[in-house]
Amino acid sequence: MILFSLSLTACSTITKTDFIEKTIPPIPAEPSYYNVIWQSYEQLYCIDVHNAKNLLKNMVLMQSYQDELTKILEGL
């Protein structure tokens, strides 16, 4: 009986649990997009040169914003 009680006291250790919280960076502000006006021509949608440039600028802004969000997710 003495050996059994000694083995119980030797195996029971006091453990301390620490929680480590990972800091998540703030979500970047969504960019301001350029206005794109589409025109309808014989059941097709078209854009002129100025609006096509705005659309390309919007795509670059959107890709940059997506890359920033992806970096945050990869860091988690």
Instruction: Specify the pLDDT at position 66.
Output: 96
Residue 65 domain boundaries: 49-76
Check pLDDT > 60 for residue 3: no
Domain count, the chain: 1
Backbone region of residue 15 per phi and psi (left: phi > 0; alpha: psi in -120 to 50; beta: other values): beta
Q: How many residues in the chain?
A: 76
Instruction: Give pLDDT tens digits for 15-52.
Output: 788 877 878 888 999 999 999 999 998 889 999 999 99
Predicted TM-score (pTM) of the model is 0.65
Q: Is the pLDDT of residue 56 over 80?
A: yes
- Identify whether 69 is part of a domain: yes
Residue 36 placed within a domain: no
Evaluate if residue 60 carries a pLDDT over 70: yes
- For 5, the enclosing helix (H) or strand (E) is helix 2-11
